[in-house]
Structure 1
């Protein structure tokens, strides 16, 4: 009695089809599929844009900040030979 057999699931399926109808179930399935596809596309876009996070400046942005900062001293470091 604790486990659901295939016959239990078939009866549940017939009742759901009788209550909602096939057209409404088809629309729900289409909407659910579109939502899952949109979610997957969003995950892919987020992973591709992970390198360009707004919280982490690029090296070019850092160079511009240093050039505009009056307290930054630009020197050439040389090694002793």
Structure 2
């Protein structure tokens, strides 16, 4: 049966109540509820604040490429460091 046995959950609940106390667990539950409400409100606000999406641009012609490859021509040069005078 393992961890999903109801007897194990009862023992864990009793240990948690003894360690933290009922008052602290009650405060933790209300704080968690307020956090979830604030998160939901923020998610709804962000969705409502988004501006209308601009109209889509026309699709490129069949021969055009969206990202044309570019070649960069460069030559590496060796830089000599000045001799240290210690």
- TM category, shorter: 0.5 to 0.7
Gaps of 5+ in 1: 57-81
What's the TM-score, normalizing by structure 1?
0.60
Q: Partner of 1:10 in structure 2?
A: 10
Q: 1:43 offset after TM fit, Å?
A: 0.2
By percentage of residues, which structure has more helix? 1
Any idea what the Cα deviations from partners look like across 1:42-74, whole Å, max 9, x if unmatched?
000000001269xx8xxxxxxxxxxxxxxxxxx
Q: Partner of 2:41 in structure 1?
A: 41
User: Which protein shows a greater Rg?
Assistant: 2
Give the aligned CA root-mean-square deviation in angstroms.
Answer: 1.9
